[in-house]
Amino acid sequence: MRHSNSSGCAKQLDNTLCYVALGSNLGDSISYLNKAIQALGDHPDITQLSVSKFYKSKPHGPQDQPDYINAAVKFKTSLSPEALLDVLQEIENNNQRVRQGVVRWGARTLDLDLLFYADKVIETKRLSVPHPRICERLFVLLPLQDLGAGLKRLGKGTIKDCIHALSEKALNDIKEIADDDKSSHRKNTS
C-alpha cells in the first residue's frame, strides 16, 4: 500500500534498506559529498543513515579529468524507488549537477547512484537496481564493504567476490582518505 506525504512523494508503508553510491570530481568534492550526506540525513523519509569511508580513485571512462572522491551510504526509507530517485536527483541538482550535453562518465560535481533497494530487482526507463556495473567498480565495492554489505548477493557472487576478482591495477588506483583530510560524517542518524 502507498501513501503520499506532504511533498507528494509516493511512500511505502515499510522502511526499506537502501544503498547509494556518492561520487564527485569537480570543485570541492569532499564538500559536495558532505552536503549530499547532510541532505539525505535531513530528509524526513530517510532514517538510520550510515556512511562509509571516503576514497580517492582514478576516473572511470575519460582519463582527462580529476580523480574522484567516492563513498556510499546506507539507510532506511519509506520512499518508493522512483520517489527516492527523484530525491537523489534533486540533491544532485542542488549541488550544480549538469546533465545536458555531458560526456558519459565525465567530470561532475556530484553523482548519486541507487545501488540497492532492499533485494528488489527494478528495471524501468529511469532506474536499474541493483546498479548494473557494481562488480566492475572498486570505488563502489569498497564503500559497500565498509557498510557491511560484503556478503550481499549479486549475479556474479557477493560484493567480496567481486572485490577479489578485480585486477591488482584496480586495487592500486584507489586510496582511502584519512579522517584528518575531510570532515567526517560517519555517524548514524535516526
84 near 122, Cβ under 8 Å?
no
The CATH number covering residue 95 comes to 3.30.70.560
Structural domain containing residue 46: 9-132
d(CA 182, CA 44): 26
Task: Please indicate, yes or no, if residue 80 is contained in any of the structural domains.
Answer: yes
Task: Please indicate, yes or no, if residue 25 is contained in any of the structural domains.
Answer: yes
- pLDDT of 179 reads 67
Catalytic residue numbers read 97, 108, 111, 113
Poorest-pLDDT segment among 47-56, 66-75, 145-154: 145-154
The count of domains in the chain is 1
In terms of pTM, does the model score above 0.85? no
d(CA 169, CA 27): 27
> pLDDT of 115-146, one tens digit each?
999 989 999 999 999 888 888 889 999 999 99
